[in-house]
Structure 1
Amino acid sequence: MTQLRLEGITKRFGSFVANDQISLEVKSGSIHAVLGENGAGKTTLMNMLCGLYQPDAGQIYLNQQPVQINSPSAAIAQGIGMIHQHFMLVPQLSVVENIILGTQFSLGLNLPQRAAELAAMAASYGLPIDPFAKVSDLPIGTQQRVEILKALHRQAKLLILDEPTAVLTPPEIATFFTVLRQLAAQQHTIIFISHKLDEVINLCDTVTVLRRGRVVASTTTAHTTPKTLAELMVGREINFQLEKPVQTNTTIALNVSQLHVRDDRNLPAVQGVSFQLRAGEILGVAGVDGNGQRELADAIAGLRAITNGTIAYQGKEITADTSNRRQLNLGYIPEDRQKMGLILPFSITRNLILKAFNRLPFCRHWLLQKLAINRHTDWAIQAFDIRATSGKLRVSQLSGGNQQKVVLARELSGKPGLIIAMQPTRGLDVGATEYVQQALLAERNRGTAILYISTELEEVLAMSDRIAVMYAGQFVEILDAARATRETIGLLMAGGQHN
């Protein structure tokens, strides 16, 4: 039986057509993937199912009946629940309090009774959990379980999952997929949005591919491959092979010893990290978000104070000199391009010279040299394949992939000796991911030392020469990437011991 059917769904924003005559069917009790590049229209389509937008044309059918979803509350009433990539939980509250939040309006909550009801419901779905546990004390995988239970408590039969594995360890992903298959077996229908094509093939029954707001393919996963799906998404052939010549350089570019760093709450985040990084080498850092990776990257880049330890770059200690460290030939790709990497209201041109606007050739005698700046912009747009008609365009008007290319153009154009790449492909589709990875590999082959920090284990394995696994603010082990296995790294990421 078909649970969801879309017929000719169209959504416009001014003259821009985000969804163009989209039609698809999702069977009851199935796991259906929706794929597409950044800007392909996936989010707009899901927002219409969740009641945040209304279609300009077309019809949504649930259980063969036409429906109007005019608000998020209307979506919940229709049995539609969305589980976002960034969880919508209150960390200070317990599990049961989070789940009933916004649903219970009587003065007498009777939490013990509600907790018992929740425990029974959770057990019936194979999702056992302590109802009185504080959410902030739960691991990420268990917090995601709370989000699923919250949707099920609201009687959701159609679950929309947006990049649900982005913050999970490999063991947590395996457990999560078991849960999703159990839900599907109980006739819950799941729409799975992801950029991880191997996960789509392994988990989902069917897949719909969007490109430029249109459906370009709908098929079963049994009759396709990750390579075929990638090429459908971007409309061209994708090169999945990353060429990495053997690293032979022995020059130490970066030497970090017993580094200690605190986070924004003044709590220990990096605790005694030591490593050496050679010129022309990529040291990957694997780990679940929140284990000190961001504080480590910020400290090396000179953006965060160090409480103890030393940092030496190209043989010179730079620990205390954070202001001058930013003037060194370092490239830093932050994890959040919109908050830290770019000034969104600024043009492409202005963002490209943010780090060098007061130096030659862009500035002479305290005057900006417009000709040199414009030449640099034209070169960057062409060299880094930034899809923009003009450098005058605001970066807020670019897709996520093109915003990341602006960051790359700025950070790599000075031919840095060290690059700190923090989640460089986060939120990017397969085509933009390929571009970013090839750009960084070209820098490695040029002799640049690269610290590559990512929660995407497959990327770390593919890109790195060595892999450091970070857990609870420490490097628990540094492995040769050629001999490291997914299982070993996944175990270490979760705090296990490697025998």
Structure 2
Amino acid sequence: MDYVIEMLNIRKEFPGIVANDNITLQLKKGEIHALLGENGAGKSTLMNVLFGLYQPEQGEIKVNGNKVNITNPNIANDLGIGMVHQHFMLVDTFTVTENIILGKEPKTAGRVDIKKAEKEIREISERYNLKVDPTAKISDISVGMQQRVEILKTLYRGAEILIFDEPTAVLTPQEIHELIQIMKTLIKEGKSIILITHKLKEIMEVCDRVTVIRKGKGIGTVDVKDTNPIELANLMVGREVTFKTEKSEASPQADVLKVSNLFIKDNRGVPVVKGLNLNVRAGEIVGIAGVDGNGQSELIEAITGLMKTESGSIMLNGKEIHNRKPRKITESGVGHIPQDRHKHGLVLDFPIGENMVLQTYYQKPFSKSGILNYKNIYKKAKKLISEFDVRTPSEYTLARALSGGNQQKAIIGREVDRDPDLLIAAQPTRGLDVGAIEFIHKRLIEQRDNGKAVLLLSFELEEIMNVSDRIAVIYEGQIIDIVNPKETTEQELGLLMAGSKQKKAGEMS
């Protein structure tokens, strides 16, 4: 059998951890091969070895049957290997073209020939149906478009083998659909793809074979046509995983959060929330369903004090918290799992232990007269790390070294431990595997069952349908309907979210 890539018995160690333990992965020409595993299983590490960012302690790599030594990404590029990273490597202030040619600038008479590069990039973009404008500035284009720029960057450098690292983690459902079409086009053109993912639906839809790794060890490779999502989930996690969230009927009490006639303008002065009304009661989970960009992010930033509002009212337990400082809002009983864990959830270059007290470090027993008590901070962190199953070499490990799922569990542990009356969970499972998703959903339901109010924002319809007791549909800055998940379908929700099937929002108990 001819393989374009063979990674044979790869071992990669870091201090205190074996990230890849004797893993083998073989990629056939013209296939989409999934690399499946939980957060922290070692998927990205293995691909970083292939791309030359890490050197393995053991094992060998062959490209088109020849043994190679990939000591840096330039060698990988020369061998026709390109990587589309999960966190994009783009310069915001540069144009699409300037980003793509960086380090490989075409020159005419000793000067960088931007026009020549733009023409070439436009041709590649059209050939693969990427629809990217080479003259656009990165800061002006959507996340989905930025990802296409990353794909173009690899194609411009002549990649025949493309590694996609969790490519759909930050995309809308529409962008995911378009990306899948792009992948199929790449395969038709003779490319081969390795897809790092933990989304089983996408594997079933687009992949030919799948290699599963668990806790750094290779579990095996299977043909997608011979398997199913339940089997793959069990292989990945090592136990049976429930896809349906088990929960009893909610018994809501009094309003904890009441938002009335709220108006918010964005930083350009454009109205984004327009007279919005919403209530969340103790003992229930209210899900906000909507297409990204309809005011849901601004609503959450307003409730948590991260954004000023124009007018209206935000009441917490009957007290006005509208336009108060974030710390005051936090102290009055609001917990916040933010949408972007890196920007607003963690200080990545602090140890995970110190991240666990970011909301409470100034209180006893963590500090006295402004002096931090590290012994108490790390004692508390150790307890939360164990309670919320945060997999980390130690509480002193830097937050950035943890996988996405473990970073998320740390944030949830920190927020839940403070016992807030209102827990706001924005995209709590974005980019997480089925095991971590199951864990987080259980924790949200636990909060509800403890009589807390939970406000869930998610772009995953399945999550909204599964976890919520009521669903508030947001469209163009207003709640246009409130529906019961038991009495609606994904299709009906989709129509409501598109604004094509509006009813007048009524309170529904």
Alignment TM-score > 0.5, same fold? yes
Q: 1:7 Cα shift?
A: 1.0
**Which residue type is aligned with residue 412 of structure 2?**
L
Aligned to 2:249: 246
Aligned to 1:83: 84
Assess if the C-alpha contact under 8 Å between 1:171 and 1:491 holds in 2: no
Write the distance in 2 (CA, Å) between the matches of 1:15 and 1:367.
31
Q: Which one is further off, 333-342 or 380-389?
A: 380-389
Aligned to 1:415: 419
How far does the alpha carbon of each residue in 1:293-330 deviate from its partner, in whole angstroms, 9 at most, with x for none?
44432321234333332101122222144353222122
Q: Which one is further off, 89-98 or 309-318?
A: 89-98
Aligned to 1:330: 334
Aligned to 1:207: 210
Matched residue SS, 1:202: helix
Write the distance in 2 (CA, Å) between the matches of 1:367 and 1:150.
49
Q: 1:91 Cα shift?
A: 4.7
Is 2:449 aligned against 1:445? Answer: yes
How far does the alpha carbon of each residue in 1:10-45 deviate from its partner, in whole angstroms, 9 at most, with x for none?
112245322121112111111111111222111111
Q: In structure 2, do the counterparts of structure 1 residues 235 and 94 end up closer, same or farther at CA, with 3 Å as the change threshold?
A: same
Aligned to 1:426: 430
Aligned to 1:229: 232
How far does the alpha carbon of each residue in 1:144-174 deviate from its partner, in whole angstroms, 9 at most, with x for none?
3333233222211111111111232223222
Assess if the C-alpha contact under 8 Å between 1:10 and 1:55 holds in 2: yes
Assess if the C-alpha contact under 8 Å between 1:168 and 1:288 holds in 2: no
Map residues 1-400 of structure 1 onto 2, 5 A cutoff: 1-107=2-108, 114-249=117-252, 251-261=254-264, 270-287=273-290, 292-322=295-325, 323-342=327-346, 351-356=355-360, 380-381=384-385, 383-387=387-391, 399-400=403-404
Assess if the C-alpha contact under 8 Å between 2:7 and 2:25 holds in 1: yes
Assess if the C-alpha contact under 8 Å between 1:10 and 1:20 holds in 2: yes
How far does the alpha carbon of each residue in 1:209-247 deviate from its partner, in whole angstroms, 9 at most, with x for none?
111211112101112222222222222222222123333
Q: In structure 2, do the counterparts of structure 1 residues 497 and 139 end up closer, same or farther at CA, with 3 Å as the change threshold?
A: farther
Q: Which one is further off, 277-286 or 290-299?
A: 290-299
Q: In structure 2, do the counterparts of structure 1 residues 27 and 67 end up closer, same or farther at CA, with 3 Å as the change threshold?
A: same
Q: 1:60 Cα shift?
A: 1.0
Q: 1:127 Cα shift?
A: 3.4
Assess if the C-alpha contact under 8 Å between 1:169 and 1:490 holds in 2: no
Aligned to 1:436: 440
Q: 1:131 Cα shift?
A: 4.0
Write the distance in 1 (CA, Å) between the matches of 2:249 and 2:295.
30
Structure 2: tracts of 5 or more residues without a match: 503-509
Q: In structure 2, do the counterparts of structure 1 residues 96 and 363 end up closer, same or farther at CA, with 3 Å as the change threshold?
A: closer
Write the distance in 1 (CA, Å) between the matches of 2:87 and 2:70.
23
Write the distance in 1 (CA, Å) between the matches of 2:173 and 2:400.
34
Structure 1 vs Structure 2 CA RMSD: 3.5
Q: 1:411 Cα shift?
A: 2.0
Structure 1: tracts of 5 or more residues without a match: none
Assess if the C-alpha contact under 8 Å between 1:283 and 1:467 holds in 2: yes
Q: In structure 2, do the counterparts of structure 1 residues 272 and 74 end up closer, same or farther at CA, with 3 Å as the change threshold?
A: farther
Matched residue SS, 1:236: coil
Write the distance in 1 (CA, Å) between the matches of 2:55 and 2:392.
29
Write the distance in 1 (CA, Å) between the matches of 2:410 and 2:203.
30
Q: 1:56 Cα shift?
A: 2.0
Matched residue SS, 1:482: helix
The number of residue pairs the alignment matches comes to: 498
**Which residue type is aligned with residue 159 of structure 2?**
A
Q: 1:189 Cα shift?
A: 0.7
Assess if the C-alpha contact under 8 Å between 1:3 and 1:62 holds in 2: yes
Q: Which one is further off, 339-348 or 279-288?
A: 339-348
How far does the alpha carbon of each residue in 1:436-463 deviate from its partner, in whole angstroms, 9 at most, with x for none?
1101111112322111122333322322
